[in-house]
Structure formats: structure tokens, C-alpha cells
Structure 1
Amino acid sequence: MTEIVLGVGASHSTLMNTHWEETIHKDRAGRFRDALYAAREELAAARPDTVILVGSNHFRGFWLDLIPSFTIGVGECLASGESGTPKGPQPVDEPLARHIAGELVDGGRFDVAFSARLQIDHGQSHAIQYLLDGLGVEIVPLVVNVFAPPLPTLDRCERLGRAIREAVLAFPGDRRVAVIGSGGLSHRLPWPDWRAPDGDDEEFMVGAWLNGRDNWQDYDARRRQIIRAAEAAINTDFDNEFLTLLEGGKAARITEYTTERLEEVAGNGAQELRTWLLMAALLDHVPGRRLAYESIPEWLTGMAVAVLDPTTT
């Protein structure tokens, strides 16, 4: 019998790897890092065979020449390795991945894209680095478009999570499956709406997203300068409201936000909450437990870790 044994939501930031020494609020950063390690221990205790790893794309694996709303990796998975995150091939549970894709499409529920050679970036490899290190598990990578509008609605993401849950539980093999949602919480990146760039920096970013498939490293130095020059825009009230909903098993209420309203309240980076929402739906919205929440302006982001354990309900 296949069962879903644990869910983890975790923020990510490559600045954790590249600018730890420059981080001013090291007490907050340390508490967040320790919470990642604590979540890893809970994952280890749950003994998953496979982790469905839901993350975002930061224009290193997907480009403006082709942006699906949802993409499942069903074959090779290659991590880009930027900013000290893992690089190279990652182990994929191909039978489960292909089962999920087939169930979604053949069942008429979701016409998801799939990739037999998927490239992921730190939107997922940050979680591989800090949450899966040493666990020896395979992954089913799921990439959600959160930065290239039009974006899938929050409601659509929640419904996809429920549909994947049904597919996983119908898998004829014997799997213990955990789920990770990587991203968020509130933050604002200096990234334009690609349809209407304004100024040299925004024109540069859109050009990088369109033309960087084979040479993304050539754009990375200026791109990082633009990001490092940005001012933090963290909404701690929103973040705590969302985490409270998650703790109460009510994360689906975030679907009341439109894409535009979510960006207005919590920044364009908060669109990554789609990954947490998918994770929570896969866990059937069991009540969660917050391990950490820290506002870290040097990383531009409200950083959180939470665990959803179906055995405690």
C-alpha cells in the first residue's frame, strides 16, 4: 500500500549559501537553519521512499520560450547548481512520477506537462541540500510557474494537489511518500512582469529569461547585482496569518487571494506559496506545526519551516 507520511513547507534563499557571513541577523538565520535540520530529522523518522518535491522556477530550467503552468519530471532530473546548491543528476522515482502524470492526464483532471530531462534550480535543490541530505530517497519533481504571468490560480494549485494525492494513493506499488513545498513566504524580487519591462534593468532581466537557456551563467553576475540591490519587503502579519491557517488545517483559504492581490499584499515572491498550498492539499490539509518563522531582510524574505504529520491527527 502506498501512503503519504509527511509534509514539509520550507522557504529557500540562495543567500543562505552565498552571504551567510554578511547576514546581520545571524540569530534569526540560525534559528531558521536549525528548523530546516529539525524538519530533516522528522523526514528521516518518517522513512519515506520517495519525496514529491514541489518548487518554483527562477529562469534557469524554464525560459520564456516555453513556460508550462505545471511540469512533472518523469525521467532524468538535473540540478543547475547555482549559488552552492547541489548540481547534476538527481534520483527520480520514475514509476511513481509516470503513474502520477498518467493518472492526471488519462483521468481528465489535469493536462500537466512532463519532462524526461528536467532541469531544476534552487527552487527545489535548496530543499535537496538542506532537507534530503543523506536520506537516500528518490524524488518526483514538480515545477510550478510562479514568476512568468499569467500564473495558475491558487485555487487551481490546490485542486492539483488534491488530484495528485488521489493518484499517489492509487499507485499499485508500495511506497512511503513525503511531500515538500519549497518557497515563500512574503518577499519582493526586483523582477518585472515580462510583458511590460520598464527601464534598463528590467529589459536586461527579460532578455536573460528569453535568451539564457544555453548560457544562463553569462547573465548571472548582473542579475545577482540587481537582486542584491533590492530592498526587503517582508509582510510579517501576512506570513503569520498564512502560517496560522496552515496550523489550523485551513491553508486552502489562501485561494481567496487573486494573483494580483497576493502580490500587492506580500510581494511577487509570495506567489511561491503555491508550492506550500500544493503540499498541504497533498496532505489533505491536516493541521500543521510551525518549526520557525523569521523575518530576514538580508535575504529579502520571511523565512519559515512547517511540518504536516498525518499521524498526529
Structure 2
Amino acid sequence: MARISAGIATSHVPAIGAAFDLGKTKDPYWAPVFEGYEFVKEWIKDNTPDVVILVYNDHASSLMMDIVPTFAMGFADEFQSADEGWGRRPVPVVKNHIELAAHIAEQLVIDEFDITLINEMDVDHGCTVPLSLVFGDVEEWPCKVIPFVVNVSQFPTPSGERCWKIGEAIRNAVKTFPEDLDVQVWGTGGMSHQLHGTRAGLINEEFDRRFIDLLAHEPEELKYITRLEYLRETGTEGIELIMWLIMRAALGYGVEEKKRFYRVPASNTAVGHVVYEAKS
């Protein structure tokens, strides 16, 4: 049977991808950010999964305002890096595990989640930046990746509790897949940040650090943070943190925290990152 062995959460700041691609990882501004990922780059060498279910949000790269699914799954064999206005990132093609994706989709529908299946799309920095941070500069990603897209940009966005429930459903679906696969779930986005308006540049370090504290051992408290509270406390884009809850719920209740990292700022965002190994 397939199993979920670990989970990773990380911010997916587009400027991090640019710094990576332009060879600026050792620059004084960026070095402290990239140093926070040295642990996971070594850890992943001994813990490379067969498949990553990568939870992220599209930034109007493939899903424009005319199509805004609440939850969507990439259903193509592979996905190119999106051109977000400055050309495609020079990163490997993301290759899907279509059999597992189909199994998860079927089980989610059985569990009453109306999942959208996307047969053609490009993946933007929300997907590719986490892969670069964890795997580094490689010719091919060393595992298959199932893109799992969550709407956090257009109202109505899903609640934290709904994200928790779909994380649990993903866990149950993976456990019933008959092939022997090592699966990881990654939750991306956040932490607190606001990109526009009168509060542009907002960062709430106290909220972010408490969120990371609770995520490891008291994550159910996070289910009940409302969309309004995210907006008020973490800025317009802080709602991305609900995607971390999908990862956390998919791991079950027992986890061992292997790494915790927090840095302010990277571009105009608070960067957070954790690595968990599942205990059960």
C-alpha cells in the first residue's frame, strides 16, 4: 500500500525563484533565506519520495478569473513552467503520477469533495519554487509531482476546516492505493504578507511564529482561524497558510518536527518552512 511518510511546508515567494535562477543565493540579502533550506536539501537525499502531492495556488498563470475552482488537481502527464511575464523559469518539467492522481480524485469525489481535474495547464512559481528550494539545481525532478491547486485569491475561498478535511481525505485515499509508494505532501504559500493597498508590506511575526508552534502538535486549533482573521492579522495574501493545513492533516496526528525556519523578510514576505516526518 502507498503511505504518506513526510510533509514539507514552505513559502513560495517568486523573488526566491528569481534569486535562485540568477545565481544570487549567496548575495548578502538572500544568503540567510537560502541557508534556511540547507537542512532539507540534505534530508531529502535520504528521504526522496516516489511522489510529492504539492499543494499550491495558481497566481493567474493558468487559472484566470473566468475559471476559479476551489480545489483542482493537475491531470496531465506533465506540466511546463509557466511564463509569468518574465519568461519560463529554467527548471525541469513537472511529471505527474497519473495513476495515483486518478485514484485520489476518485476517492475525493466519493468523500464528497467536488474536485476539478485540469488536463492542460502550466505550473507557476507556487509549484516550482518549493521544488527548487528542496531539490536544488537538477536536470530532472527526482520524483513524480501531483499539482494540487487551492483557490486563495478569489472570494469565496475555502475555510481552514475545509482544507483540513480534504487533507484527511487525501491521506485516506493514499492509504488505499495498492501500489507500494512513498508519498510526501507539501503545503506552500504564506506566511503573512500583503502585496498591495494601504497595508502593503504588512508582516505579523507574532502570528506567524504562533502558527508554526501550533502546526506541529496542536494543529486542530488552526482549523478555526477564519478568513476575516487571516485578512486582519496576516494581510490579503496570508490566507495562503490554509494550504499548510492540507499538508498537516494528511500526515495524521503524530509527527516529528525535523526542521523549523522563519525569516523576515524575503522580498516583502515572511518566509516560513518546516519539515515533518509522519509517526503513523
Matched, 1:268 2:236: yes
Is this contact kept in 1: 2:16–2:129, CA < 8 A?
A: no
Segments of 5+ residues of structure 1 without an aligned counterpart are 193-229
Match of 1:123 in 2: 126
Is this contact kept in 2: 1:184–1:271, CA < 8 A?
A: yes
Q: CA deviation at 1:86?
A: 4.5
With over 3 angstroms needed to count, the CA separation of the structure-2 counterparts of 1:131 and 1:246, relative to structure 1, is same
Q: CA deviation at 1:191?
A: 7.2
Matched to 2:37, the amino acid is: L
Is this contact kept in 2: 1:286–1:308, CA < 8 A?
A: no
Runs of 4+ aligned residues of structure 1 deviating over 4 Å after TM superposition are none
Match of 2:271 in 1: 303
Is this contact kept in 2: 1:263–1:271, CA < 8 A?
A: yes
Segments of 5+ residues of structure 2 without an aligned counterpart are none
* Stretch of structure 1 that moved more, 277-286 or 236-245: 277-286
Matched to 1:32, the amino acid is: V
With over 3 angstroms needed to count, the CA separation of the structure-2 counterparts of 1:104 and 1:19, relative to structure 1, is closer
* Stretch of structure 1 that moved more, 50-59 or 27-36: 27-36
Query: More helix per residue: 1 or 2?
Result: 1
Q: Deviations over 1:34-60 (max 9, x none)?
A: 222321322231131110111011111
C-alpha distance in 2 between matches for 1:184 and 1:240: 12
Equivalent residue for 1:256, pick from 212, 224, 232: 224
Equivalent residue for 2:79, pick from 67, 77, 80: 77
* Stretch of structure 1 that moved more, 163-172 or 255-264: 255-264
Matched to 1:152, the amino acid is: P
Is this contact kept in 1: 2:263–2:270, CA < 8 A?
A: yes
Match of 1:34 in 2: 35
Q: CA deviation at 1:119?
A: 2.3
C-alpha distance in 1 between matches for 2:50 and 2:34: 24
Question: For residues 121-270 of structure 1, what are the structure 2 equivalents within 5 Å?
Answer: 121-133=124-136, 134=138, 135-190=141-196, 231-247=200-216, 249-270=217-238
C-alpha distance in 2 between matches for 1:19 and 1:293: 18
Match of 1:13 in 2: 13
- TM-score, normalization by structure 1: 0.79
C-alpha distance in 2 between matches for 1:79 and 1:233: 29
Match of 1:111 in 2: 114
Matched to 1:156, the amino acid is: R
Matched to 2:103, the amino acid is: H
C-alpha distance in 2 between matches for 1:113 and 1:132: 28
Matched to 1:85, the amino acid is: R
Look up the SS of the partner of 1:146 in the other structure: coil
* Stretch of structure 1 that moved more, 79-88 or 128-137: 79-88
Is this contact kept in 1: 2:17–2:129, CA < 8 A?
A: no
Look up the SS of the partner of 2:119 in the other structure: strand
* Stretch of structure 1 that moved more, 127-136 or 175-184: 127-136
Quote the RMSD (CA, aligned, Å). 2.5
Question: For residues 58-97 of structure 1, what are the structure 2 equivalents within 5 Å?
Answer: 58-75=59-76, 76-82=78-84, 85-86=89-90, 89-97=93-101
